[in-house]
Every structure is written in C-alpha cells, then in structure tokens.
Amino acid sequence: MAVDIRAGASAEDVRTAIAPIWRYFGLAPTEQAVENFTELITPARCLIVCEEGAPVAGCGAFPLELTTPGGRVACAGLTMVGVHPAHRRRGLLTRMMRRFIDDTHARGEPVAYLWASEEKIYGRFGFGLTSLSGDVEISRDHGAFLAADGARGRVRLVSLAEALGPARAIYDAVAAVRPGMFARSGEWQRRRVLADLSWQRAGGGELTFALLELDGAPAAYALYRFNQKMTRGVSTGSVVVVEAMAVSPAATRAIWRYLIDLDWYATLKASFLPQDHPLILMAQEPRRLNLTFRDGCWLRLVDVGAALAGRAYGPDETVLELADDFCPWNAGRWRVAAGGVAHTQAQPDIRCDVAALACVYLGGFSWRDLVAAGRAVARDEAALARADRTFERRGAPWVPEIF
C-alpha cells in the first residue's frame, strides 16, 4: 500500500498527528490538548503518516534546550508517537522514526529525547536509557529526617495565576545546572506545569502552589493536590506531589518538611525523582520511603560531533569507536577531550554503539556500568578509568515531568 509521510501545516494537522496515540487513552484529542500542542510544538514539527491517503500514525517534537553536564544543547523532544491499532506491525513506526531523525538532523538539533511508552521499542532506532526515575510513597508517621530540620522559612499559598513568575525563576535556577532538564518557556509553564485540567486531577483535588521564602527571597516551591478519602472519620487519602523544586539544600529540606508535615493525609506520593534526590539520604527511615525506580528518559544522539561538543569533560581524553547503523554519519572513531571533539584514527579506548553512548552522555551511567552490562568494550582497565574521568558526571539526570 502507498505510504506518505508529511509535516503538519495547521492546527487540524496537529489533531491528526496526535489522534493515533489518543486512541490508546480511549478518547479523541481534546480541544485544549490540540491548542496546547499547536502553541508549544507548532504544526510544522508534527508528522502525519498516511496509508492510501488515510492518516494512520503520527508524532510531534517539542523544540527543547537540554542541560548537559556543563553545557546546553538543542534537542527534539519526541512525543505523542502512535500508530493506529489496525495498522500495527507494518513498519510504519520505523518509517516515521526515519523521517523524524532526518528532520531533526536537518534542523540542527543534535539530540532527541523521549519518554518511552514501551521501553523495548526505541533501542532499535539508537535511543539509550539516560537515567532512572524514582517514585516514593511515604506514610505521614514515618517522615522524620535524620538531621535537625534547620531553617523552615516562610511558606505562602499562591494562586496559579500568580505562580508563573516565581515558578519560572526557581525552576530555571535548578535546570541551569541539573543534567537532563530542559528550559521552560512561560507558555510551557502556563499550559503544562500550572494547568489544572479535570483529567489531570483524576478524581483528586485542585492543584495547590506553595511558595517557600528564605530570608525574604523565593527559594522553593511545591505543586501538589490532596486526594482525600475518609474511613470512619480518619483520613486514608494522599497528598500527591506533582513537582517540588528548590534552589539550595536548605530550601530542599524546608519544602519537603512542609509537604510531609501537612495535616489530614495518610501517605505522600511523589514521582519522577532523580536517582540522587536528597530525600533519600534525608530520611530517617529510608525503607519507609517505599522507593522504586523505573526507566527514565531515553536519548538519541542525532549528530554525535555536535552533541559531544555540547557538554563539558574532565582533564583526560578518550577515543571512542562508535557504531550507528541507523545514522551512519555518526559511525567511526571520535577523540573526546575538554579541548574539543573530532574524528580520529587513533586506537580506541572504548567500543560501543550509539545507544550505549547515550546512556553515559548526560551522566546517568558510567562507562564502567556499560562495560559491566556488556554494552561497551574497553581496551583495558586504564582506558576504562580514563573514559570515566573524561565523561565526568554532575548529578543524575532529572526530568520532572512527562512530555
């Protein structure tokens, strides 16, 4: 059958592009969703796959600026990837990913980023797991911290309309130095982070914005909602933390102390926490956090040279021999050092494919991790140690929201 892939040109094309994945949500795209994606992605960054003239698959890509260890890089945030249920297993996804990666390369965006609906899908297109994402479920009776609480500061409840300014300032300060995070525009904050749509509540309460001030200056915020339930007059409900950001360790402790000390709930739930979130070591009873991890975001290096040049390195240098069947322009040997990144004919220290390189690119995993897992081969122990010193890590990658 004849298959055609085209970019969108209108809001109606956005609706068409995201409709296949919405079938798996059990409904058609809402008007609010179409408006949000039209504003934040723009129609031209959507792809529509048609078979015999009928739309059967689609996706979109947010224009993001991604924080790397010591730098930033332009990024395509792949989203809403879907194939009509009646057209699966026909190679449509592979053809759509071919077009998406080629378009991303042509736009000069060195990397692509996504949350995988099914983790086994995207490795064959060169995506690698960048980090783990943590969930906690804390009983209110077991939320004590190990050390003294320190400064509590002042917490004010602020309307969502008034929250935009402080939310942007605090988030920007965190995202500037934490790998894996990306810059948020005011429209992104308003339409995605501070929106409180009925489907987002999932039967719970309204979204609350708590602003923490230390020494009179905004230092942290928490977005949360009560999902209240009562049994014989006793709360069995939960506080769901949508997002909590803080500009300092003192502010981190203070905002989480505020959340845990809220009244009238049984459990506090939070998701999308990085592997090294301070809460893990702050807790007096870490077992009571009920901490679980799953795969976080996946990353694809579309232009390896530009992507590697978009982050910082330690004092050593490393030569990588890279395989990339899907994007052969990336294959070959690369010398990576603080002084620059370039092709080379030197003997490689590490051999791997592009998906393995993605795993270490943001610092979520080390080369030693990859070698132990059989995902990379090191020339010897000295080369492996040198590679990890070259690809210095600056905190676990953190993506605090699904996009």
265 three-state secondary structure: coil
Whether 145 sits among the annotated catalytic residues: the reply is no
Q: Which of 112, 109, 92, 88 is nearest to 48 (CA)?
A: 92
DSSP result, 350-392:
EEEEHHHHHHHHTSSS-HHHHHHTTSEEESSHHHHHHHHHHS-
Give dist(CA 327, CA 331) in Å, integer. Answer: 8
Q: Which two tokens stand for residue 344?
A: 């080379």
End-to-end Cα spacing for the chain: 32
Q: CB within 8 A of 230, min separation 6: which ones? A: 236, 237
348 three-state secondary structure: coil
Cβ atoms 301, 101 nearer than 8 A:
no
DSSP result, 21-81:
HHGGGTSPPPHHHHHHHHHHT-GGGEEEEEETTEEEEEEEEEEEEEEETTEEEEEEEEEEE
Give dist(CA 251, CA 256) in Å, integer. Answer: 9
Strands 238-246 and 217-227: antiparallel
**Which ranges constitute the DSSP H helices of 109-243?**
160-175, 186-188, 198-201
Cβ atoms 359, 373 nearer than 8 A:
no
Q: CB within 8 A of 188, min separation 6: which ones? A: 40
Catalytic one among 113, 122, 209, 365? Answer: 122
Give dist(CA 81, CA 369) in Å, integer. Answer: 30
Give dist(CA 22, CA 40) in Å, integer. Answer: 18
Whether 122 sits among the annotated catalytic residues: the reply is yes
* Positions marked catalytic: 122, 403
